[in-house]
Structure formats: structure tokens, C-alpha cells
Amino acid sequence: MSDATVHLRTDQLSAMYGKFSAIKNVTLEFPVNKVHALIGPSGCGKSTFLRTLNRLHEMTPGAWITGTVELDGQDVYAPAVSPIKLRRRVGMVFQKPTPFPTMSIFDNVAAGLRIHRKLPRTELAEIVERSLQRAALWDEVKDRLKTSATALSGGQQQRLCLARTIAPEPEVILLDEPTASLDPQGTQRIEELMHELKTDFTIVIVTHNMQQAARVSDTTSFFYLGDMVEHGPTKAMFTRPKEPQTEAYITGRFG
Amino acid sequence: MSRIMVGVMITAVIVAVLPLFLILGSLIVKGASSLSISFFTNTPVPAGEDGGGVRHAIVGTLLIVGMASLVGVPLGIAAGIYTTEFKGSRLATITRFVADVLNGTPSIVVGVFAWTVVVVTQGHFSALAGSAALAVLMLPMVMRTTEELLNLVPITLREAALALGYSRWRTSLTIVLRTALPGIVTGVLLSVARIAGETAPLLFTALGSQFLSYNVDRPMAALPLMVYTYATGPFEEWHRLAWSAALVLIVVVLVLSVIARVVTRQRFGRNV
């Protein structure tokens, strides 16, 4: 708990939908300013695990957890913790781009900022510009900030969502298969961004794509049927997996 | 075989659409001749005399339908939000069922209901009683449309807002409702058009009147009531006015429907 380099950790975390356990007794640590990949076949629980970290899991009817999730030593499921404040510290980008269709590009990026505090207009504009630059989207949209966000391409929309997520300066960014609906170019841009963003944020990414996990992450966890089978430095896991299931998965024998 | 089926379909379409054109055609033929500026600006003249207009009925319809919408629209939208937000709850299920039953209730029954509750209690007919009946008719329509359209908003959008730190109510109102709003506006306009043409619920509530009145606590004229009274009346002049009033009524309903279509197209033509 005193280890300042560990930002986020889970202890014996299980997540349930009614009686079904999507993940079982997962204990994991995520050090700061690193990219962590969660891999595994469909239905292995990696997305559910991600959604427990910002308490989005509990928004599904019938969903509940046992065990703990700690952010900076504080149990995020403690009764005193507001999930709304937590989600300000733990941002999330989804598989499909989710720009708010009724808002302009500018308003999309400002959306998270506006609900948390009232900012002077100039300061708001600065943060929006900075966030769009960090998401490598500024040059493409700076002349049409007032137009609808739905007119952007899929890849642009996803970078817009990334800008919207980083604008309120969260500490952790959760990415749930952020490139699954993008073309190779869009995917490459998001991957490049992850290298830059990890200097400021702790990143946890769920991915189906093992090459992607190998390219972008520092540590990797392999999930299978709700169990966290193996966890370790990405390079080691992809060259010398300890568990036979991990080896079978990363060499493409199943999943 | 395929040809025969196509033939059957085309015949069915013609049979289905023909009445609409026949109605419109006869309304225009018989009603348009009496339309003039004075038709819209005058109130009725004593029976048997020529001239006279429907200003009182137009004002009455606007007032009665307006007041009904003032109650029915916000309540219907609020109920629709509730049944979407608390989908699985017992109250939502009951509400949905009751709304469906109400949707299928003959409008004259709703009129009798308003008569018992408002007219009998107050001791006299009034525009308010008519509005109450129309509001009851409108409520389940608005509620069900709202619900259907809110359910069309992708759940990922809701989750994106929550993940950004939006509270649940803020997500529902500023993201989900806002996204579905154009469709809801369409639904509301269509239900306004529907109740604007209702006659039965007004027969023993608003009652009808020959005079221009703005007092909603008194009987009031309305276009459908006027059509009913004049069409069944003994005078030739009344029949002509009834045709014209019917034409005005159907044009109002058509215009509302067209506006509804345009609003929908703007929303769904662009993206989604």
C-alpha cells in the first residue's frame, strides 16, 4: 500500500453477473506510467475486469463484485467513495467510438470538464486545444470545432473520444479494445499515441490483437475463462510464457 | 406466380390509398369554395343566414389542444424516461401495461371519464374538461414513443457519459434524452395531430359553442365539434361550412404530420 509506484491494484477481485462469475479472484498491480495489456479469448472476462476498475460494471443490472480495487491505496468500492468522482480519475475509451452526436467537436472534448467545474471560457478553450493536440487530432479539426462530431471518420472519432477522456486530466485511462473498429492507419495512430500518453497516465488496455499487446504494452496479463492465468513483463510473456495455456493462446492455437 | 402476387399487392395498395384521396378530393371540391378570409375571421351568424366563419372553432381547438399538450407532453415524456431508466422494475412494467390498455381505449370512453370527473364535479361543461380528456388520450401515446426512442439510443453512449463522470440523471437528460429528442418531437407532433381531430371526447366535455370565447372554464367550440354539429344540422349553409371546416381540420393535421416527417428526416438522414 505504501508503494508509491503502484497506482492501481486489485486484490482477490471477483465480478459477478447474478450468479455467474465473469472473473474470479484476480490480484493484479498496475505501476504508474506504464501500459498494461489484458489479453485473452472472447468471454474470458478481460472487459469485465476493466469495467470494475471505474465501477462501470455495477451499472449493469444484477452485477456485483467481491474483493477490492485500490487506487492510490484507497478502496474505490468503499461506501464513502463516489463513483462519479472516481470516474473523473479513471477515464475510459470504448470499442466503438462514442462521440456525443448532439454536441460539436469542441463541446465533446469540453463535456467532461464542464460537469466537474466551471472554467473561464479562455481556459476551457486552451484545455480543449491541448487535449486535441495530445490526441493528435487538433490539426484535422481546428477549423471546424463547432461542427458536429458525427461528421468525423471512425478513426478521428476515436481520437476525439481519447481527447475527451484526457481533457479532465484523469490518472488512469482504460481502453476497451480501442482499435477494434478502426482501419490499420487509425489503429497505428492510436498505438503511437499510447507511447506518448503513458508519460502522463497509467494505461490499461484490453485487446484481442496480440501483436498490438506486444507492440504497446510494458506488462501483460492473460485471462482465460475468468481466471487471470499469467501476468508479467510483456517481452517475457511473449518469448517465454510460463503457463501452457498462455503459450497455446499467444502462438495462436486457440482463441 | 410472382406476377400474380405483385398484382395482388398493387391492388391492395390502391384499395388502401384510394379512400384517402377520395376524402381529400371531396373535401377540396365541396369545402374549398366556401373558404375565404371571412371564413377564418368571422364567427357564426344566426342560422339560415349566409356567411359566417369558424374563427371561434379554430381558437377553441388551439386552446383545448394546447392545454392538453401542456399537461400530456411533459407527463408523457417524464413517464417514458421513467420506464426506460427503470426498465425491469415492477412499477415500470405496470405503467407500460396500463399505457397500452389506455392506448387501446375508445376515445369516447375517455370522454365519459372526463365528464364524470370534471364536468359532473364542476357542475358545467368546460374547455378544461375537454383538455383533460385529450390529455388522457395523449399521455400513453407520448409515453410509448418516448420510451421507444430512448431505447434506440445506443447503450455505449450512456456508458461513455457515465465513464466521463456524468451522474445518472445528467446522463439521462443531457445525453440520452437530448440524442432522442428529434424523434420524440416527431412523436409529440403526431399525437397532437391525432388529438386535434378527436370529436367524441369533446362531445360532453367542451360541448361546443357558437361564440368566440377565451374562457376555458366555459363551453368552447372546436373544429371537429363544429363539423359534427354543422354536418348533422338542417341548413344548407351549415353543410357548406362543415365541409370547409373539415378541410381546415385535415390540412392542420396534414401540416403537423409533414412537419413531423421533416424533423425526423433531419435527424436520421444525416447520420445513424
- What average pLDDT does range A153-161 have in this prediction? 94
**HEC profile of A109-154:** HHHHHHHHCCCCHHHHHHHHHHHHHHCCCHHHHHHHCCCEHHHCCH
pLDDT score, position A236? 92
Residue A101 at interface with chain B, using a CB cutoff of 8 Å: yes
**Mean model confidence pLDDT for chain B:** 90
Burial state string for A17-33 with b = 16 or more CB within 10 A and e = fewer than 16: eeeebbbbebebbbbee
pLDDT score, position B266? 64
Q: E strand or H helix at A173, and its extent?
A: strand A172-176
pLDDT score, position B62? 93
Interface contact flag, B160 A100, Cβ < 8 Å: yes
- What average pLDDT does range B105-133 have in this prediction? 94
Contact between residue A172 and residue A89 where contact means Cβ atoms under 8 Å apart? yes
pLDDT score, position B272? 35
Q: E strand or H helix at A80, and its extent?
A: none
The confidence band for A2, taking pLDDT boundaries of 50, 70 and 90, is very low
Going from N- to C-terminal start, the domains of chain B cover 35-40+51-270
Interface contact flag, B165 A164, Cβ < 8 Å: no
Instruction: Report pLDDT digits (tens) over B233-255.
Output: 888 888 888 999 999 999 888 88
The confidence band for A252, taking pLDDT boundaries of 50, 70 and 90, is confident
Question: Which three-class secondary structure state does DSSP give residue A57?
Answer: helix
Q: Which of A61, A84, A150 sits opposite B165 (nearest CB)?
A: A84
Q: How many residues are listed for chain A in this entry?
A: 255
- What average pLDDT does range A227-248 have in this prediction? 92
Q: Which of B88, B160, B166 sits opposite A98 (nearest CB)?
A: B160
pLDDT, greater one: A163 or A252: A163
pLDDT score, position B271? 41
Residue A54 at interface with chain B, using a CB cutoff of 8 Å: yes
Instruction: Report pLDDT digits (tens) over B180-201.
Output: 998 899 899 999 999 999 999 9
Q: How many residues are listed for chain B in this entry?
A: 272
Q: Which residues in chain B are closer than 8 Å to A165, comparing Cβ atoms?
A: 163-164
The confidence band for B173, taking pLDDT boundaries of 50, 70 and 90, is very high
Name the nearest CA neighbour of A109 among A126, A122, A95. A126
Q: Which of B159, B270, B271 sits opposite A94 (nearest CB)?
A: B159
Interface contact flag, B164 A84, Cβ < 8 Å: no
pLDDT score, position A1? 40
Q: Which residues in chain A are closer than 8 Å to B88, comparing Cβ atoms?
A: 61
Instruction: Report pLDDT digits (tens) over B20-61.
Output: 899 999 999 988 888 888 888 888 888 777 778 889 999 999
Q: Which of B164, B270, B272 sits opposite A111 (nearest CB)?
A: B164
**Which of A47, A90, A115, A164 has the highest number of chain B CBs within 10 A, making it the mutation to test binding with B?**
A115
Interface contact flag, B165 A115, Cβ < 8 Å: yes
Give this complex's ipTM. Answer: 0.91
Instruction: Report pLDDT digits (tens) over A41-65.
Output: 988 999 999 999 999 999 988 999 9
Going from N- to C-terminal start, the domains of chain A cover 6-250
A182 has a pLDDT exceeding 80: yes
pLDDT score, position B267? 55
CATH number of A6-250: 3.40.50.300
Instruction: Report pLDDT digits (tens) over B208-218.
Output: 888 888 988 99
Q: Which CATH superfamily is domain B35-40+51-270 in?
A: MetI-like (1.10.3720.10)
- B171-174: long-range contacts, CB 8 A cutoff, minimum separation 24: B172/B81, B172/B85, B173/B81
The model scores a pTM over 0.90: no
